[in-house]
Amino acid sequence: MAFELIPLNPEQHTLTFVPKLTTELPFFNLTARRKDIPKVIKYRGRDAEGRPINWEVYQDTSKEIGAPAVEAHEVWYLLVKPSIDSHRLPSGRIPEIIPLGGIRECLRKVGWTVGGHQGHELIKALTQIAFAGCVADLWVPTGEHDLEGKERFLQIKGRFSRMSVYAIGEHHLTDEELAQKSFDFDLEDVLYIRLDPLEAKLQQLQDRRILDNQYLFSVNPAGRRWYELMAAKIFGVVKNKAQFCEIRYSWYVKHHHTLKRAYEHKRVRFQMDRVVRDHLASGYLAKVEYRAIKEPDQELDYIIRYFPGPGAGDSIARIQGHIRKGKTLRRLPAERAQSLGQADAGRQGSVAPAIPIPTLALSVITTHHEQLIAQMIIEFGINATKAYQLVVTKKESVVLQLEVWPHRKASPRNRAGWMIQAIEGNYEAPLSYLDEKRKRKDRERLEAAQAVKSACAICGGTGFRNIKSMQYPNGAMKECSHDPSVEFEQGGIGSLY
């Protein structure tokens, strides 16, 4: 059967912005085999700066609640994460209480049918996330720099649950009520969650990636985890017009925790081919290659090489298209935008209102603006509203900082925060960029002069002409200016040989 994308309904979010580090850390059990779900997830590794990462998740495996699996993953990506982002304050801070919307509205955002039973399933999925206890010891960038320009990091260390189900309508739920499902609700009741302070801090500080929800939720559960881990790498291959990207098999199974590590080539290939089955069928991947490696004092491992197919380009184009379409709301008349903001505030009561997207009124947005906004969002994980604001108000600085980025020696952990500071602070271009720019201009001048010379009918493209005059009665060679008026005054066109 041919692979087909599952369409999203009009109320579903087309894109989800996910934090880079914690998305790579295992949490959701994306497997159709319930026996593969562990009671405890333990991950040990190191970040890009070499700092240790210790991460554990203790899941509720009771029949009443259960571990966060496929359904909880859908609820988190299609409902919870977009709600967190929409209520992020202009300062970047995330409020403690987040309204998800009426239960009927929430079910439509997740793509489930609307009804009382599905409402209970929605709350059960949220409860599975809430009842999974996390133990974290890791470092995240703060977006700030010291006097030497080095990025500051904050250590996140502690035990926490990512969130709790706070209330349905006016009724505040207890853990006992959630576990026993001993509560009633109306489909119009607004559902609220409370983020743990550590989770809110993690959400605020991390770089973010963009996921194509239509593609993500069209593949099988194991394929969804592969897409979460590999989408950014595939994007880099397509953007740089390379052929493939490589990962180690041991790295992948460490992050896709429901897979059991194999060692025989046949079993490794069988296991990983099943993971990417839908990606091959969709054309997101053209082919996969495996190569065994054995290093001293290390277990047998495999290099997996992924070659993107046309489906990867289609997904990236879909992301960019959705970002461009995002400008529609921004172009609403100011009165309409203000009324929308007031309506949102009225629905949310004392909860902090969503960021009003149309705060920059009726600025003229060109294709170049859209390209810059898309680049800042996709390559640097900058919030869409912030990217729009910077491009509209500081376009020249945006263009400069994006252009000089490849010449920067710094490799900040929080690329988004660093780039925002560079644009707002109008950081100077590095010397290597200025030197290359000078050489490029010299090369362009030389090429332009050569083009004029080649097209010159006076000297025939040689650069010199032979003239006779009273000063040179026997003739002389003269460098051609390629300007007929000049050459006529200095010997006349008829003096050409």
Which residues contact residue 464 at a Cβ distance below 8 angstroms, ignoring those fewer than 6 apart?
Answer: 477, 478, 479, 480
Q: Which of 200-214, 359-373, 426-440, 458-472 has the lowest mean pLDDT?
A: 359-373
Tens digits of residue pLDDT in 61-96: 888 899 999 999 999 999 999 999 888 876 678 889
Confidence class for position 493, pLDDT limits 50, 70, 90: very low
Mean pLDDT of the region 198-212: 87
Handedness of CA 296, 301, 307, 311 (dihedral sign): negative
Is pLDDT larger for residue 359 or for residue 255?
255
pLDDT at residue 320, as a whole number: 82
Please give the Cα distance from 324 to 397 (Å, whole number).
21
Please give the Cα distance from 319 to 313 (Å, whole number).
10
Structural domains for the chain = 11-205 (no CATH), 219-325 (1.10.10), 333-431 (no CATH), 447-495 (no CATH)
Please give the Cα distance from 246 to 265 (Å, whole number).
17
Q: Is 466 a residue whose pLDDT tops 80?
A: no
Provide, rounded to the nearest whole percent, the portion of the chain with pLDDT above 70. 86
Please give the Cα distance from 419 to 410 (Å, whole number).
11
Confidence class for position 351, pLDDT limits 50, 70, 90: very low
* Predicted TM-score of the model (pTM): 0.69
CB-CB contact of 485 with 492 (8 Å): no
Please give the Cα distance from 89 to 356 (Å, whole number).
10
Burial class (CB in 10 A: 0-12, 13-18, 19+), 40: exposed
Tens digits of residue pLDDT in 266-320: 999 999 999 999 999 999 999 999 999 998 888 999 999 999 999 999 999 898 8
Give me the chain's average pLDDT, please. Answer: 83
pLDDT at residue 102, as a whole number: 93
CA atoms within 13 A on the CB side of 259: 26
451's tokens: 């083009």
